[in-house]
């Protein structure tokens, strides 16, 4: 299938925001449906849901379209939204959750190790943060624009930090996206460290920003992607547990806010994606 880089929306900021919301809506509804399948015990292994964080990948994906860039993507374990936002096939993702050979990682990857060859998304193996050095090495060898997604906890891995340093030394066309939900399982960032990723990256001479997951803010900060290494530490809120079916409580929900902003149109988009996802599950579950 591959990514479609043709820009089809209008030129207003609202059009842009709507396009991002559409992607985020697909991601959110996928995670909600998956949450249900875990509760129904149709899925019997740990899943790492990205609900609450979906505006990050959705905005980056739209920005890449707008820049006309087709980057290599190194995904993290909590990566369903990244996969879907960058046009990964939903049927293959569902099959992966069902452990089928027709899954995007041939049934080997489960939730944490998904990939999409046609969309240049490289799978993650579960060794937290190793997508950072691997992405840096791939970028060094190929000089192709590269995006590395990493959580705030995996970013702490010593090899993640030294990799950012080497990307800086070699001035690679790479973008580090830190999805900072403040939690490592349930341990807050302040318990784990007294420093911030953007400060460390700045110290390594990587242009770095600490921003919210407001799609318009993210979009703006991606303007100069790949001219040099850039790191965005994006503060976000995880909706579901680290793994499995449970919620992190009543927190701010960007998705609900954006849906409200678009009023009836937002609700219709949400409904459309909900049906799309449920139909996709129904179709795949109906297959032997």
Partner 1 sequence: MEKTVRETIKEIVRTHLVEEKSMCFGQCLTAVGWVGGTLPELYEEDGMIEVPTSDVANGGFVVGAGLKGIRPIYVVRYQGFQWYNAPIIINYACKSKEMWGIPCPIFIRSIAMEGAIGPVAGSSHHSLYQRMPGSKIISPMTPNEYQYAYDEFMKDDDVYYISEHRRSYDNNKEMQNVIKENADFTLFPISVTRFDAEKARLILEEQGYRINIIHQLWIKPFEFKDEWKKALNDSKYGGMVLDDDYEEGVASSIAHTMMISANKKVHTMGLDHRTAGFHPDVDNLPPTPDAIVNRVKSIINGK
Q: Residue 159 or 209: which CB sits closer to partner 1?
A: 159
218 three-state secondary structure: helix
Give the footprint of partner 1 on residues 146-185 (CB under 8 A): 158-160, 162-163, 165-166, 169
**Cβ within 8 Å of residue 257, ≥6 positions away:** none
Q: Considering the rule CB under 8 A, would residue 141 count as an interface residue with partner 1? A: yes
Residues 277 and 33 sit within 8 Å (Cβ to Cβ): yes
Residue from 76, 82, 87, 115 in contact with partner 1 (CB under 8 A): 115
Write the DSSP string, 159-171: HHHHHHHHHHHTT
Q: Considering the rule CB under 8 A, would residue 117 count as an interface residue with partner 1? A: yes
- For residues 201 and 229, what is the distance between their CA atoms, to the nearest angstrom? 10
Q: Considering the rule CB under 8 A, would residue 135 count as an interface residue with partner 1? A: yes
Q: Considering the rule CB under 8 A, would residue 113 count as an interface residue with partner 1? A: yes
- For residues 182 and 200, what is the distance between their CA atoms, to the nearest angstrom? 17
Listed ranges 76-84, 111-119, 240-248, 257-265: which one lies at the site for partner 1 (CB under 8 A): 111-119
In the bound complex, what is the minimum distance in angstroms from residue 128's beta carbon to partner 1?
A: 11
For CA atoms 11, 72, 30, 77, give the dihedral sign: negative
User: Do strands 72-74 and 121-122 pair parallel, antiparallel, or not at all (unpaired)?
Assistant: parallel
Give the footprint of partner 1 on residues 204-243 (CB under 8 A): none
In the bound complex, what is the minimum distance in angstroms from residue 124's beta carbon to partner 1?
A: 9
For CA atoms 221, 21, 89, 69, give the dihedral sign: negative
Check residue 214 and report its DSSP letter: -
Residue from 133, 151, 173, 266 in contact with partner 1 (CB under 8 A): 133
In the bound complex, what is the minimum distance in angstroms from residue 94's beta carbon to partner 1?
A: 18
Listed ranges 44-52, 110-118, 261-269, 270-278: which one lies at the site for partner 1 (CB under 8 A): 110-118
Q: Considering the rule CB under 8 A, would residue 134 count as an interface residue with partner 1? A: yes
- For residues 222 and 138, what is the distance between their CA atoms, to the nearest angstrom? 21
**Cβ within 8 Å of residue 220, ≥6 positions away:** none
Q: Considering the rule CB under 8 A, would residue 2 count as an interface residue with partner 1? A: no
Q: Which residues bind partner 1 (CB under 8 A)?
A: 105-106, 108-109, 113, 115, 117, 122-123, 125-127, 130, 132-142, 158-160, 162-163, 165-166, 169
């Amino acid at each position: 299938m591959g990514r479609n880089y043709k820009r089809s929306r209008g030129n207003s900021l609202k059009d842009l925001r709507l396009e991002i919301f559409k992607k985020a809506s697909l991601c959110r509804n996928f995670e909600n449906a998956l949450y249900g399948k875990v509760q129904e015990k149709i899925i019997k292994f740990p899943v790492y849901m990205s609900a609450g964080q979906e505006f990050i990948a959705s905005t980056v994906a739209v920005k890449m379209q707008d820049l006309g860039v087709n980057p290599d993507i190194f995904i993290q374990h909590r990566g369903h939204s990244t996969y879907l936002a960058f046009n990964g096939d939903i049927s293959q993702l569902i099959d992966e959750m069902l452990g089928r050979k027709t899954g995007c990682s041939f049934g080997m990857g489960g939730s944490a190790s998904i990939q999409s060859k046609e969309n240049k998304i490289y799978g993650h193996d579960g060794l937290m943060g190793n997508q950072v050095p691997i992405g840096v090495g791939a970028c060094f060898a190929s000089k192709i624009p590269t995006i590395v997604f990493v959580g705030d906890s995996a970013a702490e891995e010593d090899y993640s930090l030294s990799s950012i340093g080497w990307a800086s030394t070699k001035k690679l066309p790479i973008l580090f996206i830190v999805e900072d939900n403040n939690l490592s399982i349930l341990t807050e960032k302040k318990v784990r460290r007294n420093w911030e990723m953007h400060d460390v990256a700045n110290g390594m001479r990587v242009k770095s920003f600490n921003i919210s997951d407001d799609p318009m803010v993210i979009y703006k900060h991606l303007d100069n992607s790949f001219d040099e290494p850039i790191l965005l530490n994006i503060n976000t809120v995880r909706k579901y547990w680290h793994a499995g079916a449970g919620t992190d409580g009543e927190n701010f929900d960007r998705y609900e806010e954006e849906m409200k902003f678009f009023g009836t149109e937002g609700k219709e988009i949400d409904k459309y994606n909900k049906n799309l996802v449920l139909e996709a599950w129904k179709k795949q579950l109906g297959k032997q």
